Amino acid sequence: MISSMEVSLYPLGKESLGPDIDRFLETLNSFNVTVAPGSMSTVITGETSELFRAVEAAYTSVGEGRSVVLVTKISNACPV
């Protein structure tokens, strides 16, 4: 099943957010999903199981050793 997921990453306690967000996006892009970054969130589209694998890996890549918040929404009904 194809789904779309909107994700917003919030690194906590850092002056510069860019490096963590860049690492998050780089990890997402290493999976077989379409990544569309926006100014406030990113939409990723692909096979549902691949979306979850990609988000788990990306979250782990930025979350180990630092505090982050990740907000997600997923749908198989939104236009893709």
Is 80 within the bounds of a domain?
A: no
pLDDT digits (tens, 9 = 90+) for 5-45: 999 999 898 777 788 999 999 999 999 999 999 999 999 99
pLDDT at 79: 64
CATH of the domain at 66: 3.30.70.930
Domain total in the chain: 1
Range of the domain at 61: 2-75
| The pTM of the whole model exceeds 0.85 | yes
CA-based angle 52:55:56, to the nearest 5?
Answer: 80
CA distance 15 to 56: 24
Is 49 within the bounds of a domain?
A: yes
Other Cβ atoms within 10 Å of 70 Cβ, number: 15
Is 16 within the bounds of a domain?
A: yes
